[in-house]
């Protein structure tokens, strides 16, 4: 039997992202690891309730989820170190406003522009349940069929227990290509 180390948040590594929202006529940015997928048409962004960006998201009901690659990791790390309530973070990234009204980081390899449907509250946290309005991808990361190529788009991963960033690894195989051991087919 493996050792039981108790109730731990242990589902890592996972992609680190920068969440953006519009604050008046400027954007604000927050580094977020706790992003999830719900079904096939919803995503979830889990934020500490005290964060500056939360009220902006609630006001506009729009947010962006920007994947982070190694090129923008230094700026991404910075927006996780200081609150927009204390320091204006609007000029950390070049951006454009997406078709649905959320700020899209120009140099992020991929951005989901989202509408907020609901907020799921847990003690000290607000998790924003969103639909995806638009997906913006740097052309260099689209293959000949227009699909996202994750062999070139290398999202930075993060893990909470030791607070580190990691790289993605190599391809291990196609999904559903592993036959049951001993089976003929
Ligand atoms: C690696 C890393 C991951 C983080 N992930 C989250 C997260 O998933 N949820 C969250 O609420 N804050 C997370 N934070 C903390 C916020 O990014 C940080 O407190 C930020 O300054 C809040 O900014 P704001 O007050 O302008 O919204 C993370 C910080 C780091 C460094």
Q: What is the pLDDT of residue 184?
A: 61
Which atom of ligand 1 lies closest to the CA of 46? 9
Q: How far is the CA of 98 from the centre of ligand 1 (A)?
A: 23
Where does residue 101 fall: left (phi above 0), alpha (psi -120 to 50 degrees), or beta otherwise?
left
Q: How far is the CA of 30 from the centre of ligand 1 (A)?
A: 6
Nearest residue (CA) to ligand 1, atom 4: 32
Split at pLDDT 50, 70, 90, the class of 179 is confident
The residue whose CB lies within 8 Å of the most ligand 1 atoms, and thus the one to mutate among 33, 55, 124, 165, is 33
Q: Starting from the edge strand earliest in sequence, which strands make up the sheet with 62-67, in order?
A: 26-32, 17-23, 62-67, 110-122, 125-137, 42-48, 35-38
- Phi, psi values for residue 48, rounded to 5°: -60, 135
Q: What is the pLDDT of residue 181?
A: 78
- Phi, psi values for residue 154, rounded to 5°: -110, 90
Put simply, whether the predicted model's pTM sits higher than 0.75 gets the answer yes
Q: Is 14 in the pocket of ligand 1 (CB under 6 A)?
A: no
150 closest CA partner among 15, 46, 43: 15
Give me the domains of the chain, ranges plus CATH numbers. 14-166 (2.30.110.10)
Mean pLDDT (whole number) for 164-169:
96
Q: How far is the CA of 65 from the centre of ligand 1 (A)?
A: 13
Where does residue 150 fall: left (phi above 0), alpha (psi -120 to 50 degrees), or beta otherwise?
alpha
């Amino acid at each position: 039997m493996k050792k039981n180390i108790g109730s731990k948040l242990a589902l890592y590594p996972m992609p680190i992202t920068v969440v953006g929202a519009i604050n008046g006529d400027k954007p604000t940015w927050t580094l977020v690891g706790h992003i999830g997928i719900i079904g096939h048409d919803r995503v979830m962004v889990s934020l500490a309730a005290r964060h500056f960006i939360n009220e902006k998201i609630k006001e506009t009901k729009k947010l962006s989820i920007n994947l982070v690659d190694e090129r923008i990791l230094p700026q991404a790390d910075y927006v996780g170190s200081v609150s927009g309530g204390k320091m204006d973070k609007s000029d950390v990234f070049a951006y454009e406003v997406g078709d649905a009204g959320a700020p899209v980081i120009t140099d992020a390899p991929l951005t989901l522009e989202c509408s907020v449907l609901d907020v799921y509250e847990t003690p000290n946290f607000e998790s924003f349940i969103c639909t995806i309005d638009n997906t913006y991808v740097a052309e260099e990361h689209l293959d000949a069929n227009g699909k996202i190529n994750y062999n070139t788009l290398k999202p930075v991963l993060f893990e909470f227990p030791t607070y580190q960033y990691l790289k993605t690894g190599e391809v291990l195989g196609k999904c559903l290509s592993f036959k049951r051991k001993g089976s003929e087919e």
